[in-house]
Structure 1
Amino acid sequence: MLSARGLFQEIFDNDASFRLFCSIAASGEAQGGWENGRIAALVPESQRGLSHKIVRHGADEDKHGRIFNALLRKRGLDPVDVPGDTDYTMLLEARGIGLAHEKLRADQRLSERDIVAYLAHSRVTEQRASEQMQLLRKHFADHPDIGKAVRMISSDEDNHLAYCHEELLRLAAAGHGRTIQRILRESALAEIKVYRDVSLAVMDRMGRILGWSRARSAVLAAGIHAVYAYERLGGWHRMVSLRMPERRDALGGPASAAPEFA
């Protein structure tokens, strides 16, 4: 019988599949770190109070990238190039989710609407990140090799999600409510498609590395399609709701160090 724990354990136990898993994760986190760093540098004057939180967000993402690379080094492995069809971040950008890299590479200040869009996009993607890390934490929090990394990254992702909720509610109260809801809906519907496609691509590669049978690969693919069907029918609503988080000012302080990994 297939289970999330068994599936991830199989991936983690094999050097080639673990190498691909960590390489994909490290690349996405490093990209997120760069994006947040550029956004922090280009924040408009009307939102300068957010700068230190965006810097903290980017520092956390950079830290996560270092952690995944450190996990590779611990097993004597080097990162591999990330296949284009597994690059979640870039595929989201291609669908208009996240601020365009062309805009972030320029030296022109962002608009307040850009910040609204950034936070709305982040609220959707951080929901996914938080859920994925909670799943790993559920099964591997006490794992001798990856448990500490899983716990640390999961806590950070929960903080990022809380930050997005709090700041979007602030901006909604300032008159951006309709724009926020529109962007959240568009982002969620685009994200669930990208997540489905990336999941299928990753599982296809993992299956080839691990020698899965056609039947097993077909079952996993059917499961991914079933998740997408659920999300398309209504599951996406969890990505667009806003509520004041229990963790207030979650990114108000400096990023925590990870000397045991970096």
Structure 2
Amino acid sequence: MKALNGHSWRMPIDRLVWADPRRRARKLLQFAEVEAQGARDLFRAAEVAKDPTLRRRFFAHAKDEQRHARLFRTRGLALRRTLADPGPDRVLGDGLTPGERGFDRLEVEKEDTAALLAFIHLSESAAARVFNGYGAVLDDDPETRAVIQQIAHDEEGHMRYSHAELTRLAPQRADQALWRARMRRLWRAYMRFALIVAAMMSRLILTLLYFLLLPPFALVAKRTGRQEAVGWHACATRRDDGGGQY
């Protein structure tokens, strides 16, 4: 099977994403978190897998994910140390950038083996394709490119083994499982996009409300303040002729 290459049409976007050193360091650290979470999910999948061959492959995959997390984190921290201002750990819109999403907090105990393998196959295929694309635009950072290309190569291996295990364990359901996994990934991608857009829209609306509504109220308060006398002023004498208690 040939190595997966990133989409050539996306290269200008990838160059823009990775051109900023702060964003580059931030993305690497975020990838480290995703790989670490994927390792935990795969270790759990290995624990519950009944097939001994699949159990060994899940375990080896989990160890690879742990190693990827270390590689991403080490390189990300090294880049951050070179920056005078590393910036925030996360910014709005980070989720719109393509990259490995891990297994989206899958409950592996409740997943059918065919469904889990299909989802892993598609996730690793997407990761390999995207990481190969990222590596192609990092000519000015050979160390980061070497890390990403090494991990992309591993993801291609994960893509192949998961498909082989799927066809071995569920040959008659493989195509259906892959189709359902694609629909599942599309739905989750839509939900991620919708949440990010909703967050952006709410921030925009609140900003507009702040600048459109606050100035009129401030102007009214200022005019009211000008109409009031400055300092202490005498109040009209009030006599209580009602025969109060005192």
TM-score by length of 2: 0.61
1:160 alignment partner in structure 2? 158
Equivalence for 1:133:
131
- Is the CA contact 1:40–1:52 (under 8 Å) kept in the aligned structure 2? yes
Gaps of 5+ in 1: 104-109, 206-262
Do structure 1's residue 48 and structure 2's residue 52 form an aligned pair?
yes
d(CA) in 2 for partners of 1:82, 1:37:
30
- Aligned-residue sequence identity (percent) comes to 21
Q: In structure 2, how many angstroms separate the alpha carbons of the residues matched to 1:116 and 1:148? A: 33
From 112, 129, 139, the counterpart of 1:114:
112
Cα distance between partner residues in 1 of 2:54 and 2:193? 33
Q: Which amino acid aligns with 1:122?
A: I
Find the aligned partners of 2:29 and 2:193 in 1 and give their Cα distance. Answer: 15
Shift of 1:160: 0.5
SS at match of 1:80: coil
Q: Label 1:152 to 1:201 Cα distance change in 2 as closer, same or farther (>3 A).
A: farther
* 1:1-262 equivalence runs, <5 A: 4-44=10-50, 47-76=51-80, 80=89, 86=95, 88-89=101-102, 92-93=104-105, 98=106, 100=107, 103=109, 114-140=112-138, 143-173=141-171, 177-178=172-173, 180-195=174-189, 198=192
Going from structure 1 to structure 2, the CA distance change for 1:195 and 1:20 (only over 3 Å counts) comes to farther
Give the letter aligned to residue 184 of structure 2: A
User: Shift of the alpha carbon at 1:188?
Assistant: 0.2
Query: What is the number of equivalent residue pairs in this alignment?
Result: 183
- Is the CA contact (8 Å cut-off) linking 2:29 and 2:73 kept in structure 1? yes
Larger radius of gyration: 2
Deviation at 1:201, TM superposition (A): 7.2
TM-aligned CA distance change 1:200 to 1:144, over 3 Å = farther
Conserved in 2, the CA contact under 8 Å of 1:88 and 1:198? no
